[in-house]
Structure 1
Amino acid sequence: MSALLHAILAAASGRGRQVALSDGTNHIRYEELRPAIDAMAEMIEAEAGPAGPVAIELGNGIDWVVADLALLSLGRACVPVPPFFMPAQREDALRDAGVVASVTPEGIVQFDHRPAQLPEGTAKISYTSGSTGTPKGICLSANGMLATALSVIDRVGSDKAGLHLPMLPLAVLLENVAGLYATLIAGGTYMVQPLEDIGFARMFDPDAAEMLAAIERTGATSLILVPELLGRLLAACEKAGRVPSTLHLVAVGGAHISPDLLARADRIGLPLVQGYGLTECGSVVAIEAPGDLAGRGSVGRPLSHVQVTIEDDGEIVIEGNGHLGHLGLVGQPRQPAPIRTGDIGRWDEQGRLVIDGRKSNLIVTGFGRNISPEWIETLLKERSEIAQAMVYGDGEAALSALIVPSSPIADVAPAIDAVNAALPDYARLSDWRCTKPFLPVDGTLTANGRLRRGEILAREAAFRLFDRLVLRTLPARARLLRVPQIQAGLSGRISRETYAAYLAQAYHHVRHTVPLMQEARQRLGHRPTLVAALDEYIEEETGHEHWILNDIAALGGDPQRAVALGPSPATKAMVDHAYRTIRERNPASFFGMVYVLESTSIALASQGADALRTSLNLPSSAFSYLQSHGALDQDHMRFFQSLMDSIEDPEDAAAIIAMADRIFDLFGALFATIPMEFEHEAA
């Protein structure tokens, strides 16, 4: 029996009928823990054979914990498979570790992999992240994980072992060691519920309100979070106006935490401590003590089982409790030596460790200035408009950034201007663009929330035109969606007169749709794919302006008067810009206008039409244009994406993006001129 399991069972011996494990419905008491482990161990030996690593491919639950402890009792290497691994990553990990069987929801599944040469004493093979390449397995000993768990208990206090609610997958080493093992050794209750039951139906887009409800429902006293989850929980607490009364320890680690998050946590009374660690050292290396929080920004003092030094260049070096070796290096054990972390740090005045960034991430600009990107990324993420950011520009004259907005209507540009104003000239962003979220599932984020910078840049380079079009125009689309008239329309808060005024302007730009297509078609005669697409669009769009006039009549308006009044200056400006760009520049640019009008009409049709029909008590016949375009444009958008991804000419691509960016603003100006409270003109 390993020393780690011995420590857990020794703690269990005096706790009898106290609940050790629970999923909210089923419970295992401390006195039942050993029999449950023995039963699982017997089943593993019977179905997985007598030797070889065994994987765990279960969701969070009691069975995951018992399987893990059973493998400790058998002295067999455990390979936790992260639930966010892609199928190819899973297969790589199982093959790399020489897994002979896996504990799955369907039972124990056997494999026929070539045996891996594991360093002696390997109890766990932890795969560090959801990489798009072959995952890297780090071999850990039971004694090393025990040392980490005991040091964590010593630092935060065994009195904190109440009811721990895991909000990270158990395959994440931080939760496995500092959550599960530390809780059981300290005599607490591990409330291991399925993640989907506590707000994680979408693992990387959790429901913060459900997270908060789960904490309150279970009476959790402690949590381990990564910064992204902390931000979500803080937002939920701030919205609800309360912090769960039972919580007395929230440990956060895995990535840098912005000062804003720390300040917000302190302001509402969330009992937060910050930590630092790495898989190669068995997880946690340093963590704040609950009573030692003066002067936020550090990750606390190093734990007792390690020694931490800082080199002259700022690199953090750790001795003690190192891993046994990496798989892929023919199973050779790691020779005892300090672990160079690649992290840059320093000591504060109280002797606590402060993490400044990654040595390997250091940007050296074309002017020879050394800049840690984490510094600027932290400032960017402190802005409520920005969810994620990655700064780059090594060897360039100035810095650039990839930005993930916090919402579809987030006004990112002023937020970046504000950050730039607080930075020295050499560290300011000269360029930025919006992008898709960084996620472990696509290899752009580690399980602990760290950016995988190379993978992010590779993903950006691989985007085809449709993705580039969507991402490059996100700020302009956000500006459009923030127009008060659109916000009011989407929620059904406009008058009948305002709706009629919108339809009148819609008529005056929709009647130009087919003529604009014909102009573009005439000038694109040498591009058969685009011409064929325009022919299809022309056939479908012909006569749609008459639907709008019918809608005006159905809501009691005068269609002929709407025609006679003509377009507003804003509507005319948008139409004129489209004609001018097609005639004088690149006719392929017209497809940028197509993207704006179709993507906007989908939103207006799917949400606005139903809201308006209800609030204004209008017949369905007053919404034929919006409703028909909702269905049509969803089909069109699928066709449009395929068409855009077939375009390889960089000049065409640039023209389409530029047109869409400009039309979003012109379309927004069209909506902004529609009176919210219509003034009837004298007869």
Structure 2
Amino acid sequence: MNGLLAIIRDHAAKNPRGIALDPVTSLPVTWAELAERVADRAEALERSEGSGKPFVISLDHGVDAAITELALLEARIPVLSLPSFFTQEQVQHAVAASGAGAVPLSASQPAPSPLPRETARVTFTSGSTGTPKGVCLSVSQMLAVAASVVEAVGAEHAGCHCALLPPGILLETVAGFFATMLAGGTYVCAPQAEIGLADPFRPDFVMMARRLADWEITSLILVPEYLAGLVAVMEQTGLRLPHLTLVAVGGARVPVELLARARAVALPVRQGYGLTECASVVSLEAAGEDVAGSAGRPLGHMKARIAPDGEIVLDGEMFLGTIGEPREPGPLLTGDIGRIDDQGRLWVEGRKSALIVTSFGRNISPEWVEAELTAQPDIAQAMVHGDGLPAPEALLVPARPDADLAAAVAAANASMPAYARTAKWREVAPFTPMNGQLTGNGRLRRKAISDMWLDGPVRFFDELEAATFRDRLRFLTIPQVRAGLAGTISRRTYIDYLRQAWHHVRHTVPLMEAARTRLLDRPDLLAALDDYIEEETGHEEWILADIAAAGGDADAARASDPAPATKAMVDHAYRCIREGNPASFFGMVYVLESVSVAIAQRGASAVAENLGLPPEAFTYLTSHGALDQDHMAFYAELVNGLQREEDRAAILQMAREMFGLFGGVFASIDMEEEEDARVAA
């Protein structure tokens, strides 16, 4: 097969002004420009990267990331692509193990090992251990898979493919990016914030659906959670995406009911199956094949068979091995169980290692039960366990503030045989890539989830997150909060928000001092309060400076009265500290700091871009967001050390109340100007 640059040059010769890359937020790149820029970048990389070490990429979607990826491929320099959701420990492990750079080694980090010959990409899967091995892939394997995808779906789908999966995810790189480059389509590589995926709490599926419609996207690769979110928005709003001709979904088992709902709103969904060792895609449903639940037939580069014990075995284009361990010749034992029907379609039914054997001797695939549970609209996520128990049990994440999980479990159980019905369940906090409980492709990291929720006592911080998750979801439904996170507010509304922020932030240190006065017999909490007081002193002045930089009147803000909702929140905090358990103050800390991280990470940049305000108008949000990210790690350690049940109860109660009260502060901000603008438009 020709190199990818040669194919790009061929597209450039035939269609020099055609759009190859569209970052949306900046100028698109034509095929002619792409060919030239990739060649120049590859030449520069060959001159500067002569050590043979992998080149680390950890970038948001965009032109720079795309061109760097292509240039490294052309220069035959191995790529170590690190998803943004990797923890610092995971990053250090990946870099150290692959020899990509000089990272101080710890006892848990391996010394660098040689990469197999012809390694073009090192991908660290988020498997069941804390230190997974890096899978090494070749150029020929990745391009063979991409070509196989193009052959299977047809070049006519090479219109506008939009990157939705997080940067660094192999499935999007090979089956989305490389396949689009081979087919001559346009790769829409907008930053994640532009398509509703910068919110650390949850994706903004309304924004996502609107962007897909506005940009006339023709193909997508989704994980089941993204598909469920899009379908829900389309069902609720009536929005349709008529330009889409292909929606490939994989990464985890897709509930049959969700596939039916997707097709009911005219999404051309095709389910697939893949593995990192196979450079992502193994099989994909054919167009128009209405056999819900099948993962389709193996693509041209791969053959599949079923072992006597039900395990799926693959032959074809395979990985080179892992770091320091070349692959032994022979078929790949996938660890997945499944079957192949008489039409050659592959059905994936669970993980061999995750199989539950109940005390009644019944074998149950947890994925089967999970699919039935998450098919219920009130259940966002589920992990089923119960090996050795009489019946399966589940950890459940609610999908909305008023979710009735008991009714949802009963509805799921009604469609299951008696031995596979969920006997008990527990409500927990979401499984995400950020907390290490979900892969970038949407697969559950069962060991990490079990470590947190099933194996030993649950830490109080995790209990706090779970117990307040519905309150957080309710907070996020407030129109002013949603508009702020999306950046769609006026300058007046931003200044009004800052005025209310000043009125409650100026009480932060006095509230801490009030709590300190009543906690003199608690040296552990006194030390934490002293640190907070030192850190927070003077922050209200940052807000006044921001008001002035945004064009507001800082002196008028200082002289103004707080809104009733803001006064109610502050008064409640003083009352709880002075009359109740003063440790309740840390419930307020949890809410304000966790919310400020979200607002700073997403809202500040979105508002700044939409309003054209200078960085000086956002010193409080941006600096406070960075501080609060560090504070949350400190906070978790602090509250996990609390042994008194009355302290934990007070913190939890205050956190729940503060989500409501702080939400009231946002809801009190007038947004008539935004509404008028939308009506006029």
Q: TM-score, normalised by structure 1?
A: 0.69
Alpha-carbon distance in 2 for matches of 1:621, 1:153: 58
Q: Give 3-state SS (helix, strand or coil) of 2:213's partner.
A: helix
Map of 1:236 onto structure 2: 233
Q: Which residue of 2 aligns with 1:536?
A: none
Deviations 1:399-453 (A, max 9, x none): 2111101122211111112223333332222221110100111111111111111
User: Quick one: which of 296, 312, 316 aligns to 1:316?
Assistant: 312
CA distance in 2, matches of 1:45, 1:620: 61
Partner secondary structure for residue 444 of structure 2: coil
Distance in 1 (alpha carbons) for counterparts of 2:576 and 2:85:
30
Quote the RMSD (CA, aligned, Å).
Answer: 3.6
Partner of 1:16: 16
The counterpart of 1:121, out of the listed 113, 118, 128, is 118
1:106 aligns to what? none
Deviates more, 1:20-29 or 1:77-86: 20-29
Does the 8 A contact of 1:250 with 1:273 survive in 2?
Answer: yes
Which of the numbers 195, 198, 208 marks the counterpart of 2:195? 198
Q: Are residue 266 (structure 1) and residue 263 (structure 2) matched?
A: yes
CA contact (8 A) 2:19 2:30 kept: yes
Q: In 2 relative to 1, CA 58–639 (structure 1 residues): closer, same or farther, beyond 3 Å?
A: closer
What secondary structure does 1:58 align onto? coil
Tell me, in whole angstroms, the C-alpha distance in 2 between the residues paired with 1:405 and 1:386. 5
Bigger Rg, which one = 1
The question of whether the paired residues in 2 share the 8 Å contact of 1:15 and 1:187 is answered with: no
Q: Tell me the distance in 1 between the aligned counterparts of 2:82 and 2:648.
A: 45
Which residue pairs with 2:92 in the alignment?
A: 91
Provide the residue aligned with 1:345 in structure 2.
338
Separation (CA, whole Å) in 2 of partners of 1:135 and 1:298: 29
Q: Deviations over 1:310-360 (max 9, x none)?
A: 112211110011100011xx2x32122111111111123432111111111
Q: Which moved more, 1:416-425 or 1:375-384?
A: 416-425
1:57-82 superposed Cα distances (whole Å, 9 cap, x missing partner): 21111111111111111111111111
Q: Does residue 456 of the first structure (1) align with residue 424 of the second (2)?
A: no
Instruction: Measure, in 2, the Cα distance between the counterparts of 1:7 and 1:462.
Output: 56
Within a 5 Å distance, the mapping from 1:474-553 to structure 2 comes to none
The CA deviation at 1:7 is 4.0
1:132 Cα deviation after fit: 7.3
Contact 2:5–2:38 under 8 Å retained in 1: no
Structure 1: runs of 5+ lacking an equivalent: 103-112, 482-486, 488-527, 534-618, 665-683
| TM-score, normalising length: structure 2 | 0.69
> Which residue type is aligned with residue 39 of structure 2?
D
1:13 and 1:644 map into 2 onto residues whose CA distance is 63
Q: Which runs of 5+ in 2 are unaligned?
A: 104-109, 479-520, 527-560, 591-634, 658-681
Q: Distance in 2 between matches of 1:67 and 1:633?
A: 57
Distance 2:157 2:3 in 1: 23
Correspondence list, 1:412-431, <5 A: 412-431=405-424
Matches of residues 328-477 of structure 1 in structure 2 within 5 Å?
330=324, 332-460=325-453, 461=456, 463-465=458-460, 467-468=462-463, 471=466
Q: How far does residue 638 in structure 1 lie from its aligned partner after superposition?
A: 4.0
Structure 1 partner of 2:595: none
Shift in alpha-carbon separation, 1:469–1:240, aligned structure 2, 3 A: closer
CA distance in 1, matches of 2:393, 2:469: 17
CA distance in 2, matches of 1:120, 1:258: 40
Aligned mates of 1:638, 1:2 — CA distance in 2: 64
Change (3 A) 1:470 1:629: farther
Cα drift, residue 243 of structure 1: 1.4
Matched residue SS, 1:26: coil
- Asked whether the 8 Å contact 2:170–2:280 carries over to 1, the reply is yes
2: CA distance, partners of 1:621 / 1:44: 57
Q: Secondary structure at the match of 1:275?
A: strand
- CA–CA separation in structure 1 for the residues paired with 2:93 and 2:2: 28
- Whole-Å Cα distance in 1 between the matches of residues 648 and 82 of structure 2? 45
- Counterpart pick for 1:295 among 284, 291, 298: 291
Instruction: Specify whether residues 2 and 399 from structure 1 end up closer, same or farther in structure 2 by C-alpha distance, changes over 3 A only.
Output: same
Find the counterpart in structure 1 of residue 556 from structure 2: none
- Asked if structure 1 preserves the Cα contact closer than 8 Å seen for 2:305 and 2:340, the reply is no
In structure 2, the residue matched to 1:537 is none
1:580 is matched with none
User: Contact 1:2–1:73 (CA<8 Å) still a contact in 2?
Assistant: no
Secondary structure of the structure 1 residue equivalent to 2:423: strand
Change (3 A) 1:152 1:393: same
Name which of 239, 254, 257 aligns with 2:251.
254
Percent identity among equivalent residues? 44
